[in-house]
Amino acid sequence: MTTTVVRAVSSPSFLALVPHLLECTPRRSLAVVPFAEGRSLGAMRVDLPPEGDSALAEGVASTVLGMACKVARTDAIAVAVYTDDDLAPGAPLPGTALVEAVRSRAGICGIRVIDALVVSPDGWASYFDAEPTPHPLQEIQDAAAPGLESDIRSDQVAAAALPPGDEETSRRIVRLLDDAELALRATRDRRRLSPARRRSAEAVVKGLSDPPALFENAVTAPWPESDLIRLAAMAFCLERPSLRDVALMQWTGDLATGDAVLQAQTAYRAGVPVPEDLARPMWGEGARPQPARLSAGLDVCRRVAVALPPERRPGPLAACAWLAWASGRASHAATYAEQALAIDPQHGLSGIMLELVDSGRLPEWVFERPTSPAGTGSSRGSRAR
């Protein structure tokens, strides 16, 4: 779910807006946009249930209304069904049963449905019309507000696809990781490396000496494409659940958060429970993270995943899944988690993420309206760096 705030004008202009709210052009989807006093509060998307499955349609309607009601001050919604079926003149519109279920559930919740539309490959129409008439898709493009004329063609899962990796880069990263493992062992093992490889391995190990500093630089400092040392250090951390979780929690907060979580992880190994305030963000509870930090972290984790050979990608893919979920992009989260589980069916965080998505759970902060930056960071102070 996104949190862009814009005005709704007409049905075609609303349909022109939806892809920008969702940052994709949905396919086989129900899009729901909550409103407060005529202004949109964001957008959410769910997969369409099969036509004719009334029980599943009722379940989807209950889910999306429950999510809409969690958005502060929602007093109305608009819905749009995106279908691959054509609009046949005189025939019922695709998705009619689902939309009726949404309207019924909205009435129970005291939420107005201000528009209900369908978009197909051959046109758009309104469920509110007594005799729905297909309209040309060009009307949607013509109604786009200034600044929203750009065409968003990617569907809801395309953005989660990884670009092709480079075999030579993967080979060099794996060698750096293997050499770093040797460099972390006894002196006898380090001597097996050539001087040049030893220097590179020690550079990776140096980056691992302060994981929170590494994670902070990864999302705040320029990262040249040729910096394989930092890439290997990030890969080392993302392959290890305890360090991966430090990175994720730090990117929801700040450097001080990372320091605190790393200390808590160290204490946990000695039998000390992790403080609740540090663990809550992992389950989507707590202060709203800065979207730019989540986005930067996701870019880093995608870059690491691409750089590794497929068999070593579950760790960074699981991190991608969590960061996408934390950003309100459940479809992307599911895609990353499924990619990781296809490699390692027992991968812990990936399985958890898929369960969260399948249950319709999103972080509490995605339902909050954007506010000033105050109060979104850590209260644990900072350190010199």
Q: Classify 77 as helix, strand or coil.
A: strand
Q: What are phi and psi of 79, to 5 degrees?
A: -125, 150
User: How many Å from the N-terminal Cα to the C-terminal Cα in the chain?
Assistant: 35
Residue 74, pLDDT above cutoff 50: yes
Interval 198-218: pLDDT, tens:
999 999 999 999 999 999 999
Give the pLDDT of residue 379: 33
Residues 18 and 23: their CA atoms lie apart, in Å, by: 8
The domains of the chain are located at 11-156, 167-367
Q: What are phi and psi of 347, to 5 degrees?
A: -70, 120
The answer for 375, left when phi > 0, alpha when psi is -120 to 50, beta otherwise, is left
Residue range 267-272: average pLDDT? Answer: 92
Residues 294 and 288: their CA atoms lie apart, in Å, by: 11
Interval 182-192: pLDDT, tens:
888 766 777 77
Residues 246 and 300: their CA atoms lie apart, in Å, by: 15
Look-up: residue for tokens 């400092």?
221
Q: Tokens standing for 70?
A: 């969690």
Residue 5, pLDDT above cutoff 80: no
| pTM (predicted TM-score) | 0.82
Residues 379 and 19: their CA atoms lie apart, in Å, by: 36
Give the pLDDT of residue 235: 98
Residue 375, pLDDT above cutoff 50: no
Give the pLDDT of residue 79: 96
Residues 260 and 56: their CA atoms lie apart, in Å, by: 44
Residue range 259-264: average pLDDT? Answer: 96
Under CATH, which number does the domain 11-156 receive? 3.40.140.10
Task: Find out whether 302 and 162 touch, Cβ atoms under 8 Å.
Answer: yes
Give the pLDDT of residue 263: 96
